[in-house]
Amino acid sequence: MPEQVGMRTEALMNADRVIEEAIADSIVPGAVLAVVHQNKIAYLKAYGHRRILPRKEAMTTNTIFDMASCSKSMSTALCTMKLLEQGRIQLQDPVQLYFPDFKPWIQEDGTKEKNIRILHLLTHTSGLPAYAPVAQVEQQKGVSNQQKLLDYICNCPRTFEPNENFRYSCLNFVMLQYIIEKVSKQSLSDFAQQHLFSKLGMKHTGYCPTSNLALIAPTEKQADGHILCGEVHDPLARILQKGVSGNAGLFSTAEDIAILCAALQNEGEWNGQRILSPLTVKAMRSIPFETQKWGRTLGWDCRTPYASNKGDLLGPNTYGHTGYTGTSIVIDPDNDLSIILLTNAVHPHDKSSVVRLRSQVANAVAASLYPPKRIYTEHYYKRFLQFMDEPSIQPSDIIMLGNSLTEGGKAWNERLNNPHVRNRGIIGDDTEGINDRLHQILPGHPAKLFLLIGINDLSRDLTPDSIVCAIRDIVGRIQQESPQTQIYLQSLLPINESFQRYKRLTGKGCLIPNINQGLKTLAKEKKVKFIDLYPLFTEKGKNILRPEVTTDGLHLNEKGYSIWVEKLKKHI
């Protein structure tokens, strides 16, 4: 869960909201969001629909997406860096070294020429056109479509001198593909599988998928009526490259990409498997000195106009990439954070932009990063996750909220003979813990909420006034965020120190009446109902818990719960 790695679920819900608003506004049919922090998937959620034509299918977290231009970074750039660290290529190698027919840039008057190098391809400073005229290239006769495309790139006009300008070009990465394949004597697909995806266990990542077709998010409806699904959306990759192309063609899932991002956050290694050396990763995510003014790292975007998916809050060294189909990857090495937002934005028609959505999501996720104020118990996190998996709170629900006394009541719905009663107690919880999980409850605007909290605060040496003040904040927050919810503030129960089970409560039983008096005053101040349980459980003439209603001097046995239930029934 996010809290275990220093993130706040409550803040991440802002990302949920903006994605759900985008779906409601028909900007995207659906999405999957994955957040990686401290080498763990801190958040993974699906929204909306995977497809809406010819039938609706719900989005799932294991949906496979056409990654479009994210293929450039995830596959082609990483494969290029792999060859570089193997000593098989260099950034300063001219493309002509591998393809002698590849034309250099030549000044119009013929007085000057300059080679295009691998560095220029990776940083989009080569001067190659942005794209190829697919239909025109396909119409050429005599050779394969791939050879036709290579011939076109080798001879097409160079629009500026290398490194004198920036133009984002798919042809740069197609050319990198051809270099990778020539040097490695493998297809780009095979090389990437061997050195990247298979090593990391990315089982749903690759080109030209042939399995799990039902999990693939379709893209655009074509002129002939069929909807692309499992075929790459990019025309150059689909028509001229048979689905395996340096600029597009990769399919993947949010979880697989999360693994890749975790490896890059961890200097090239994940789960004992290394794909790149630490220095290679550092070089890849850094903007080369000679191309500083253009803002591109070696295969990734850092600070060009295309980098809006970074949002406004992430660190200055953040890098990432986007894909035309609606995909996005952002990696912030300074904050050890990755944000993967996958949408099927071009399904069934290419008519909207996700540029703003990407930035909004990045901001919401970045704002969820907080150093953890405290470390909760494993049981707390287990219950927290259990609550996340349960049906959401409804306006008809009645919430029993508290610590081990509440959790120990187990099936409160049966005890109180009301199916709407929900047990939201957690062993060991205190006022801070309650505040940290109200976001799971208040958006549902429950009808009633019964709060019993404070004994664990007392064991942690908070004063009675501090405990009452903390509960005042909780009550105020409930009233502000869910004003229609009726609040029932319950007194603390007495304890029995003669059991000698809880040393941190030794000598503190006498403070409980002071806390309860403060709660009674608070209830009057906040105009909420106060339920005084204390006298029901004390020995006659003493301020201690009756031995016959407790198991250990603090917790209740079945007889104790029966007394509590009888007191609550008239309020349900």
Domains and CATH numbers, the chain: 2-75+190-366 (3.40.710.10), 94-184 (no CATH), 378-569 (3.40.50.1110)
Cα separation of 134 and 144, whole Å?
A: 13
What are the residues facing 269 on neighbouring strands? 274
pLDDT digits (tens, 9 = 90+) for 410-452: 999 999 999 999 999 999 999 999 998 999 999 999 999 999 9
pLDDT digits (tens, 9 = 90+) for 283-318: 999 999 999 999 999 999 998 888 889 999 999 899
pLDDT band at 372 (very low <50, low <70, confident <90, very high): low
pLDDT band at 365 (very low <50, low <70, confident <90, very high): very high
DSSP at 313 = T
pLDDT digits (tens, 9 = 90+) for 479-502: 999 999 999 999 999 999 999 999
Cα separation of 361 and 70, whole Å?
A: 18
- Average pLDDT, stretch 133-162? 95
User: Does position 373 have pLDDT exceeding 70, yes or no?
Assistant: no
Q: Which uninterrupted H or E stretch holds 513?
A: helix 512-526
pLDDT digits (tens, 9 = 90+) for 85-100: 999 999 999 999 999 9
DSSP annotation string for 190-259:
HHHIIIIIHHHT-TT-EES--S-GGGBPP-PBPTTS-B-SSS-S-HIIIIISTT--SSS-EEE-HHHHHH
Residue 555 CB-half CA count within 13 A: 16
pLDDT band at 1 (very low <50, low <70, confident <90, very high): confident
8 Å CB contact between 530 and 524: yes
Q: Pairing relation of β-strands 269-270 and 273-274?
A: antiparallel
Say what the alpha-carbon torsion angle 169, 175, 235, 285 is, to the nearest 10 degrees: -50
